[in-house]
A and B are shown apart, each in its own frame.
Chain A
């Protein structure tokens, strides 16, 4: 790599085109693909950019903080000779940074000589440790039916106006290392939270900050903020900068890191904007064809490795445009992440918090994180039974809306009652209520008591014997 470093510090001129956040320079000399450059305008003011495409004659540069004030003549590009790197240090916990990783809390630049490439490198599948330790969030629908596992990436699919921020804050506040039912759940000793905001409003960022402060965790949080009025292009860097720090903390320092990324939809829109300006062939809804790979390059930076006791757990939040789960952003996210927690507007309108739509929600890693030794032996079957029963409730409800509740058969009447109780007692809990796993499982059995025994075909006869209390 030595000859790359040698090129550092060279300056080139010859800007030929500026459009949106994109700048095209001719006679590019020996710029390298994906390298970072400093762009200096006629007043000597410096901003940073990244090379998107390069040939002998020209280079396409994406400017992070916008191109306002740049001119064709008088703009110089200074070669850095390396890809974008940020400093990483344990001292970054408790600090606030902008979307590119520069401190904005008035404190000094982190003192470290450890710099890491923001793109990271793919984790070797043979080096991974399969995640099996569940995290107790104290929220029944998550712990009981969509358990979060340490090292998992589990996004919140939400819509505008739904309380995803509260839910994420509650998860962060209550998350503890899971323990079998009956035992006390413990807080991880070395935990850290990395929070990245992409294009969210100031109040949302403040909300999270206050919530971290209230739970006394602020000193363990590093915040990377690219707010709604910050340059969109910077957003493409923010989650990567945050994950670079998370990887350092988890895999070099052995911490359990929870990463919250909000809002991925804004990130994808910034990506679409750049793609558009570059005239790339779009795939669905104008998003570039590489959106899947691009998202994967961030989501896959989650997990555990053999060489460290630390872990990265990701909770990306995204708002589905028009509540449409088939929109490319939630769709491609769902194909990469290990499940999803879907928030539903109807539940929210019925005053249920957290308004988690049970049926479309899923945790793929749950199967290995629950059951005997981890939660309780009846957990897997109980979960399947609750899912099956609640799915049947939906059929009964649509039938009732046609023929009227009175016309329903006895069993279906019971399902209706179950559905109502399930939403009222199981899904619904207050923002401050922290249920342990035993409480969650017991509420589940209590609700199944509303249904006749013959209907419970997903649980075993032994489990019915032990836990079922029919009314």
Chain B
């Protein structure tokens, strides 16, 4: 397949220049040296070809051959993606382990999807049907939780002349033939798609359904719409990874793509060992059954790190096209931006800010715009939501990656180091974060809970921002100088902070809250506030309120009320009533 197209002239880390054929295309996949290291053409100048190599180039010398493939860098799509772990250019890591042991060697050529597995194929289309790209030909039970819908490739249309009968096939065996204007095409379950090109869809839809994550601070305060994009910026130790893991575990997406991009090896191992054991509360099957992992850890070749986010998003779009809701986590987009910077630096391009190339913003925009809630070619609705972690140097949000990212996302979950230091997790700062999806998803909340979610959410936010203002005063004069009414704001805010916003990912009950539990808890706290407010107006002091036993109940209810025993919320409501009414009697 591959023919020699050039000769290496210059080597600098992952970037090499070769001289050769003028027929090599931009973004073409090439193989470099006797070991056939995988690379991609990133620049052409006359007969000079600039290539970024996805593997370590140590030991390569000028004169080494370069082979062309005529194809752009692509991913393989088909049954077998779920439950897999790939590197940045979709090589299956478990197979690499079988080949080269515990350490990853170079020049390993593997097909991403295993060719010999047989998948039970059931056709849903009859011969003679006129089809266009994206339509579903048949289905395969890929995992107990996900039915894989085999689709006509987006660029194929015509009349179906043959469909394979229901039986188990490998992904390379023909399952249909389509007569197109260019002749008859044979289709298999295996398809390829270039990673840098977005997969087509019919139309984009509004993002009016929230992606429920079970994390109270996210769902109730800063919701992300399905098909939207969110960023989690935070310095080291602020809790990005823990938050990303929680979302990957509990988000109500049907498929989760987790990209470990330039991060720690042990973290990927944690996901790998934990996810097969954790049970998805919705499907009842292990979480791994709906997950694809892409691991390009910080010590793996830097150029493949750049490719890893595209590999991930292409797989995400593929499942979206089947009509699924997909959540994609990229941890961390800063490492991806740094990979761009490193390659750019070695190309001696003129840097813009902090050494980053001038096209940084354009690349970020391209990536985040691949999120969306769409009407697919197959006629279903599906979505890709992107949640990108950002690692600003020194925790300083004014750096280029955070700033540019902010322009292309609508949901900003700002992590706060001082909250993390006090072990307030998830350490999402409620004053710095924002979500532009509030009004979009409000109707959904009202329908799901039958309560005035937006009103309660705004009331709670008002209390929290009032607390922030009051605590400035407290820092100067002490809390005793404040009137009791204002001290009640501090007390209710404490309840909200400790009892609602804080959520313990290690606690079996607290780790996940349904929307009904979330809104129930919030309603209780606000009800407590209103009752207490009335009593203080009657002349009670804050210390009396503070000593009510129900205060402790409100703080601890997150770990006491299981999601399936929400009647306990009513009991607490009665307890508030009883204790408050007794107090009222004292002050009447």
List the interface of chain A (C-beta within 8 A of B).
1, 3-4, 28, 30-35, 52-56, 82-83, 119-131, 151-152, 251, 280-284, 288-290, 292-293, 296-297, 299-301, 303, 305-308, 325-328, 331-332, 334-336, 338-340, 359-360, 362, 364-365, 367-368, 380, 383-384, 387-388, 391-392, 398-399, 402-403, 407-409, 454, 457-458, 460-461
Contacts and interface: CB of A to CB of B under 8 A. Distances in A.
Contacts of A127: 97, 101-103
14 contacts: A1-B59, A33-B12, A34-B57, A126-B97, A126-B269, A281-B351, A283-B341, A290-B302, A300-B298, A301-B299, A303-B269, A326-B395, A383-B423, A409-B480
A126 B475 contact: no
A288 to B, nearest CB: 8
Given A83-B58, A126-B94, A326-B394, A367 B103 contact: no
A32 B264 contact: no
A33 B59 contact: yes
Nearest to B351: A281
B59 A128 contact: no
Given A122-B104, A303-B266, A334 B237 contact: yes
B281 interface: no
A25 to B, nearest CB: 13
B1 interface: no
A399 B96 CA distance: 58
Interface in B125-158: none
Contacts of A290: 13, 302, 338, 342, 345
Central interface residue in B260, B302, B355, by most chain A CB within 10 Å = B355
B484 interface: no
State which size class the interface on B falls in.
35 or more
A289 B338 contact: yes
Contacts of A289: 338, 341-342, 345, 355
A32 B266 contact: no
B421 A126 contact: no
Interface stretch (B60-68, B186-194, B404-412): B60-68
B287 interface: no
A131 B265 CA distance: 11
Nearest to A282: B355
Interface in B547-565: 551-552, 555-556, 559
B506 A367 contact: yes
B451 interface: no
Given A56-B10, A130-B266, A336-B264, A407 B237 contact: no
A436 B238 CA distance: 29
Interface string B289-327: 000000101111010000000000000000000000000
Contacts of B10: 53-56
A407 B480 contact: yes
Contacts of A458: 423
Nearest to A2: B34
Interface string B439-477: 000000000000000000000000000000000001111
Interface in B223-253: 235-237, 241
B270 interface: yes
A387 B423 contact: yes
Contacts of B105: 121
A126 B85 CA distance: 8
A399 B272 CA distance: 46
Contacts of B101: 127, 307
B93 interface: yes
B422 interface: yes
A135 B8 CA distance: 50
A4 B394 CA distance: 44
Central interface residue in B11, B102, B260, B396, by most chain A CB within 10 Å = B102
B484 to A, nearest CB: 14
Interface in B330-375: 335, 338, 341-342, 345, 348, 351, 354-355
Contacts of A408: 478
B111 interface: no
A1 B107 CA distance: 12
A403 B297 contact: no
Central interface residue in A307, A339, A362, A461, by most chain B CB within 10 Å = A362
B475 A407 contact: no
Given A34-B59, A335-B391, A292 B335 contact: yes
Nearest to B353: A283
Central interface residue in B94, B299, B302, by most chain A CB within 10 Å = B299
Contact of A300 (B85, B265, B338, B474): B265
Interface of B: 9-13, 17, 34, 56-63, 85, 93-94, 96-97, 100-105, 235-237, 241, 260, 262, 264-266, 268-270, 272-273, 295, 297-300, 302, 335, 338, 341-342, 345, 348, 351, 354-355, 391, 393-396, 417-418, 420-424, 474-480, 498, 506, 551-552, 555-556, 559
B62 A297 contact: no
Given A56-B63, A380-B506, A403 B342 contact: no
B59 A83 contact: yes
A232 B478 CA distance: 54
B270 A130 contact: yes
Nearest to B11: A33
A133 B463 CA distance: 44
A365 B9 contact: no
Contacts of A52: 12
B494 to A, nearest CB: 9
Given A281-B345, A336-B298, A398-B475, A121 B59 contact: no
A186 to B, nearest CB: 24
B103 A121 contact: yes
A284 B393 contact: yes
A125 B345 CA distance: 29
A125 B85 contact: yes
A340 B422 CA distance: 16
A326 B393 contact: yes
B94 A122 contact: no
Nearest to B399: A284
A137 B208 CA distance: 52
Central interface residue in B97, B338, B394, B477, by most chain A CB within 10 Å = B394
Given A34-B57, A293-B299, A336-B298, 10 more contacts: A30-B63, A32-B61, A56-B62, A122-B299, A284-B354, A289-B342, A296-B297, A359-B421, A362-B420, A387-B422
A308 B476 CA distance: 59
A292 B423 contact: no
Given A283-B341, A290-B302, A359-B422, A122 B297 contact: yes
A128 B103 contact: no
B475 A399 contact: yes
A444 to B, nearest CB: 14
Contacts of B475: 398-399, 402
Contacts of B302: 290, 293
Given A56-B10, A300-B264, A300-B265, A33 B58 contact: yes
A361 to B, nearest CB: 9
Central interface residue in A55, A380, A460, by most chain B CB within 10 Å = A55
B345 A280 contact: yes
B11 A53 contact: yes
A461 to B, nearest CB: 8
A448 B548 CA distance: 22
Contacts of A35: 58-59, 61
A241 B60 CA distance: 22
A399 B299 contact: no
Central interface residue in B9, B101, B265, B391, by most chain A CB within 10 Å = B265
A58 B556 CA distance: 69
Contacts of B556: 457, 461
A54 B94 contact: no
Contacts of A334: 235-237
Nearest to A119: B58
A350 B102 CA distance: 48
A441 to B, nearest CB: 17
A392 B422 CA distance: 8
Contacts of B300: 122
A293 B354 contact: no
